[in-house]
A = this chain, B = another copy of it.
Amino acid sequence: MSSTFAALADPTRRAILARLALGETSVTEIAAPFEMSMPAISRHLKVLEKAGLISRGREAQWRPCKLKAEPLKQASDWLEEYRNFWEQSFDRLDEYLKTLQKKEKRDAGKNGSGRKKR
């Protein structure tokens, strides 16, 4: 999980994944859109491979890379556990905004003395 998120934390690597979603391809072709040396790309690919996000074949002198989406699924599942939370947040925002509107109508000027402790 850590290595998956770490791999996704780099925009170059996310772009590589996006490219690979269109289909398997060679390192040179992957590298083309980037202003970056070949070895740099090669190492990004190594990071992706270690995270299990790609696999590499051998076809003559090319090493085609292929997207492996399983770790993405795991990451997605992890995030999914927080779904209620972000949906709730919007609900709360709604609620809060309503409260605020009521207050503004009611007492347009008094400021807070109420203390709270958790």
Binding site for B on A (CB under 8 A): 1-3, 5-6, 8-11, 14, 17, 21, 24-26, 59-60, 62, 64, 67-70, 72-73, 75-76, 78-83, 85-86, 88-89, 116-118
Residues of B near A21 (CB, < 8 A) are 81-82, 85
Q: Are B70 and A80 in contact (CB under 8 A)?
A: no
- Tally of this chain's copies: 2
Alpha-carbon distance A14/B5, docked complex (angstroms): 11
Tell me the dominant secondary structure on chain A's binding face.
Answer: helix
Alpha-carbon distance A8/B7, docked complex (angstroms): 11
Of the residues B3, B60, B76, B88, contact of A79 by C-beta under 8 Å:
B76
Of the residues B9, B82, B86, B118, contact of A5 by C-beta under 8 Å:
B9
Q: Are A72 and B67 in contact (CB under 8 A)?
A: no
Of the residues B9, B67, B88, contact of A85 by C-beta under 8 Å:
B67
Residues of B near A62 (CB, < 8 A) are 118
Q: Are B73 and A86 in contact (CB under 8 A)?
A: yes
Q: Name the distance in Å between A34's Cβ and chain B's nearest Cβ.
A: 16
Q: Name the distance in Å between A24's Cβ and chain B's nearest Cβ.
A: 7
Q: Name the distance in Å between A118's Cβ and chain B's nearest Cβ.
A: 7
